[in-house]
Chain A
């Protein structure tokens, strides 16, 4: 008993990984995957690169408008019209610096896609941890904390310098505490996520969606064909051998376009149930078996009967 419990706990501990279950307001549980820490770090680096690029472009173009760095000092204090124009450019630059640092993340995460360009490239997005709507308040809160997590410590470390001893040590410790924060909780939350009630999850790739739309007509046709006059009929005891696990394995084989796997699977099944009348017509045989096995298992499901795999008994 004790051993069984320990085993159970171990399984639970391993199971989380990146997968999480999220309850939507309608009460539907969604299985989502939280973002891996590596992907988030990569997204952050990308975003910082973009910000740096934008700031450089704006600075250079403003400098160009101002007509070179050398004359700035002179013109600025001259009190002439060009002096005022230059002042204006300087004001624009100061505000742009502030905006890029703080509003870049806000702007993109408030958009309909809920992700900065860096996150989008890495297939990530922000979501509310409680399954509800992602509100602007959440986005603002999580990004205001970015200042103490990232920008301030970097400035600190850079300005203190290694020779200043204690101050540098303190700044580095501060930096590390916040940078390593996501490593020490299950969901990879950074301090901003804790405050905002948000988390970063993997945006589903639309790739999976193809499976049905491509496969559907073929399968519909095949089920239609078998219902007209099933070539192969299987008895109750022949179908009772396998469970859900084998059914899904068989589905994967049938969906696989390559015919290689069909034959060994046919042999395994025909040996197990002791029939060999599908020789030379393996695919049709397996499709018929699949359909009838699924019909049997699904009928069982409606009565609350499950058979997980061939090794277990039916459970009620």
Chain B
């Protein structure tokens, strides 16, 4: 740049080589070689993970250098019989492609756009599946209730003896009441919450992943979990504790059941797309559905963390039905508002519109 003698000398000798090269394809290569080598140097640094060592200037030049090398490759393929150059360019362009089209956003950056609107947009995108799963959820609760109301033996089939503990048909209202209140002195709450979280997260990931089998297992898992709830609801309402039980569930349930509902809907979305891909090729339709559902699932895991905290702490500390309802109701309002009324921040929408224009 500053006109150093060495630079000029090199440029002159390069020019000399270009002029004296007998073959047009050799001249073609010599003219571009410096750019290719610069690109290679940048790519090598980035491959080694030394992103900080790449200067801003190089980083800005990268896309241009990549495109130049790529078009050089397609010209060389058509006009050059220099196998070494073509092979070199093939590798170089491929390596540069990995760098240019590799994952660009960091996890933190991705999370930012996730909260700024990506999450709620993904939930709305699978809205039909959420609605279907909600209908299934209501039906499953009703089915659980009706089954047990007809024949109390069903209770153990749905809830399981171990899990039921003192909550069995025929228990006195006092015993049932005791399971709902006055547990504030319980020890090991945080451990309990962490266990709950990892267990619930596993179940919801399972519900999502089983969507691969055309969504049927996801729905079955939802039905099984909610029929259990219906059966317990029957038990407590028999003792006149309907509202208290609902409050006990609502603290974390509005978050947790919502999360399980979303994971089943995500699974159903994938399964539905695999069964009926529509006009697009099966694989690309499945990929689009899977990516949408994956965003929902990240949200589900976060919701389950919150649910575990609510269940482990808020429920034990707030010992009145009214207080529990207000916590659970507040969470429900927050989730519904975020998912169905929040269009994303303006910045996020602008960014997404930009991406949409590029695709």
Interface residues of A (CB under 8 A from B): 24-26, 28-32, 76-77, 79, 83, 87-88, 90-91, 94-95, 97-98, 102, 106-107, 109-114, 125, 127-141, 144-145, 147-149, 152, 191, 194-198, 203-204, 206, 208-209, 211-213, 215-216, 219-220, 223-224, 226-228, 244, 247-248, 251-252, 255, 291, 294-295, 297-298, 301-302
Query: How many Å lie between the Cα of A145 and that of B211 in the bound state?
Result: 10
When distances are taken between beta carbons in the complex, the residues of chain B under 8 Å from A131 are 101
Contacts of B85 in A (CB 8 A): 212
A135 with B30, Cβ < 8 A, contacts A144-B208, A228-B20 known: no
- The stretch of B75-83, B127-135, B175-183 in contact with A is B75-83
Point out the residues of chain B lying under 8 angstroms from A227, CB to CB: 20-22
Known: A98-B198, A110-B103, A195-B270. 5 other contacts (CB 8 A): A79-B187, A91-B193, A112-B46, A135-B291, A136-B105
Whether the pair B26, A223 counts as a contact (CB closer than 8 A) is yes
Which of B190, B206, B291 is the most central at the interface, judged by chain A CB atoms within 10 Å of its CB? Answer: B291
Count, A-B residue pairs, CB within 8 A: 225
B239-247, B280-288, B324-332, B341-349 - interface stretch: B280-288
Does B334 touch A at the CB level, under 8 Å? no
Flag if B283 contacts A91 (CB, 8 Å): no
Q: Report the bound CA distance from A212 to B102 in whole Å.
A: 26
Give the B interface residue count (CB, 8 A).
82
| A294 x B103 contact (CB < 8 A) | no
**What A residues does B276 contact at CB under 8 A?**
none
Q: In the complex, A223 Cα to B33 Cα: how many Å?
A: 16
Q: Kindly list chain A residues whose C-beta atoms are within 8 Å of the C-beta of B82.
A: 251, 294
The yes or no answer to B188 lying at the interface (CB within 8 A) is yes
User: Is A28's CB under 8 angstroms from B71's CB?
Assistant: yes
Q: Does B154 contact A (CB under 8 A)?
A: no
- Give every chain B residue within 8 A of A114 (Cβ-Cβ): 98, 102-103
Query: Does the CB pair A30–B94 fall under 8 Å?
Result: yes
Q: Kindly list chain A residues whose C-beta atoms are within 8 Å of the C-beta of B357.
A: none
For B287-298 the 0/1 string (1 means CB < 8 A from A) is: 111111111011
Q: How far is the CB of A188 from chain B (nearest CB, A)?
A: 14
In the complex, A7 Cα to B289 Cα: how many Å? 39
Q: Let me know if B81 and A208 touch, CB within 8 A.
A: no
A299, B17: Cα distance in complex, Å? 20
For residue A297, which residues in chain B have a CB less than 8 angstroms away from its CB? 81
A91 x B101 contact (CB < 8 A): no
